[in-house]
Amino acid sequence: MDHRPPDRTFGQGGQAAGGWPLRAQTLLMLVYLVGMLDRSIVTVLLQPIKQEFHLTDTQLGFISGMAFSLSYGLAAVPMGMLADRFSRRNMLALLVLIWSSLTFASGLVSGFLLLCVARLGVGFAEAGQPPTVMSLVGDIFAPRRRATAISLIYLGLPVGALCGYLVAGKIAAVYGWRVAIMGAGTPGIVLAIAIVLFLREPARGGLDERLASTSAGIGFAEGVRHLLGNRALMHTLAAAGLASVIASAMSVWLPSLIMRRFDVGIGVAGPALAVSMGVFGIVGALLGGPIADWIGRGSLSRMASVTAGMILALLPLSLICFAAPSMTISVIFNGLFNLLLPGYLSGLHALVIGMTVPRARGFVISLLAVMLTLFGYGLGSQFIGMLSDVFAARGYANSLLLALLVSTVTIVWAVAHLLRARSLLISRGPAAIVAAAVA
């Protein structure tokens, strides 16, 4: 636990002397970068791993999603409660060190079982990333700037994907998948040290005077009451989980789909997807949050509207990407998909932060992380792998393509939940919703 007094130099705009918010934002962006790199590296390398260990698509779905997400889902809520009680800075540094070391160790495994164990460990450690990072964001940046701040932190996702698909893909093509995955785990070890040296612990709740707050974190029972008393928040969490199914399907299964449909190797598919995911994702991260803040103007109901619009736009983009007649068209629409991804994710996080009292943010953000990761990245990816095997057993030549097309129905479902949350925010008002939740 950090015994130094928390930093209290933040104003209403979330600014402080010496460029501290910018430094904090940069470090938190790098956390998401190494997290994305460590999370996605296995998906980039699915085909060579499949060939070496002779795995089915169901097994690939497990190591690429479910193994990570299962431990992530189990650990997320306890991690969130710890983030509400202890130094988020120290906790984040330790977690980055653990998951990066385990990613490095994944390159040394001798078989499927040990790789699963390593991915379980990575998922356990990464479960603490969202509650610590987003709780810090809530105390560094004021409400009108949060979507922008979160979007810029999410800049780490496309950059991490760019490194994973471009650099790791090239390394794997020359030196093998084991060297690539060990290289992916190395940067986080250095970052963990930088977090301890350069990141501060801000005071909790200083930028949300309208929300009742105390420095003490909530207990599990109180957290559940807070959630159950906030129907708009529950609909937002449901929307996040459903939207993440298609987002994880795009990142986990698209490389394998392209390699199978167009008969190309990882040395071709990796760089192409790196450009589409990385470059378009970077532009999306730079524009998505500011656009959401500009349209939202500090209103949660307006933020729900713009987020729902971004998610709905993913439907035609994903359908064309999966069913494209050429690799070029698939890569282009994958880029357009990733252009919207940071914007809707920053909108979801801004909504959840705005509907939650500061002392409960670690707990609630951990639930959001569970929905994004366990439901989407884990169960969603696993379901697609299993569905692909079912279609293949029935003689369908493009079994993975069919499974991915079926998964797009979750987009419409997600939008319906988010529009319901918007309706509740308009009819009752955000302050009344939060007050009822904590009553």
Check if the beta carbon of residue 57 is closer than 8 Å to that of residue 400.
yes
Residue whose structure tokens are 């789909």: 257
SS3 202: strand
What is the rounded CA–CA span in Å between residue 382 and residue 105? Answer: 23
What pLDDT is recorded for position 401? Answer: 92
Check if the beta carbon of residue 380 is closer than 8 Å to that of residue 249.
yes
- Residues of the chain short of pLDDT 50, as ranges, are 1-18, 209-215, 435
What is the rounded CA–CA span in Å between residue 226 and residue 434? Answer: 8
Per-residue pLDDT tens digits for 152-208: 887 887 788 777 777 777 788 788 888 888 888 889 999 999 999 998 888 776 555
What pLDDT is recorded for position 7? Answer: 44
What is the rounded CA–CA span in Å between residue 30 and residue 32? Answer: 5
What pLDDT is recorded for position 317? Answer: 96
Write the DSSP assignment of 286-307 as a string of letters: HHHHHHHHHHHTT-HHHHHHHH
What pLDDT is recorded for position 11? Answer: 39
Q: Quote the tokens at residue 19.
A: 């460029």
SS3 208: coil
Q: Quote the tokens at residue 39.
A: 């999370």
What pLDDT is recorded for position 17? Answer: 39
Check if the beta carbon of residue 313 is closer than 8 Å to that of residue 98.
no
Buried b (16+ CB within 10 A) or exposed e, 55-73: bebebbbbbbbbbbbbbbb
- The domain segmentation of the chain, as residue ranges, is 21-198+216-438
Per-residue pLDDT tens digits for 124-134: 999 899 889 98
Write down the architecture of domain 21-198+216-438 according to CATH. Up-down Bundle (1.20)
